[in-house]
Amino acid sequence: MLLPSRNVLDSIAQGSPWGLQMENNKDRFMSQKRSLTGFLVASLGLAAGLAVFTGSASAADCSAAVKDAAVKGHCDKGGQSAVKKAMKDAVDAANAAGEKIDGKKIECKSCHSDSSTFKLNDKAEDLYSAHLKKYFK
Same domain, 96 and 42: no
Q: 134: pLDDT confidence band, cut at 50, 70 and 90?
A: very high
Same domain, 73 and 96: yes
Same domain, 69 and 111: yes
Same domain, 63 and 38: no
Same domain, 47 and 93: no
Round the average pLDDT of the chain to a whole number and report it: 76
Same domain, 65 and 22: no
Same domain, 79 and 130: yes
Within a domain: 103? yes
Same domain, 83 and 115: yes
Same domain, 69 and 97: yes
What is the tally of structural domains in the chain? 2
**Residue 42 pLDDT more than 90?**
no
Same domain, 43 and 87: no
**Residue 33 pLDDT more than 60?**
no
Same domain, 76 and 49: no
**Residue 53 pLDDT more than 60?**
no
Within a domain: 22? yes
Lowest-pLDDT range of 45-54, 61-70, 87-96: 45-54
Same domain, 14 and 74: no
Residues 42, 46, 49, CA angle at the centre, nearest 5°? 140
**Residue 55 pLDDT more than 50?**
no
Range of the domain at 89: 59-135
User: What's residue 57's pLDDT?
Assistant: 43
**Residue 5 pLDDT more than 90?**
no
The Cα 59–Cα 67 span in angstroms is 14
Within a domain: 32? yes
Within a domain: 1? no
Within a domain: 101? yes
Q: Which long-range contacts (CB under 8 A, 24 or more apart) does 113-118 make?
A: 118/80, 118/84
Tell me the chain's radius of gyration from C-alpha atoms: 31
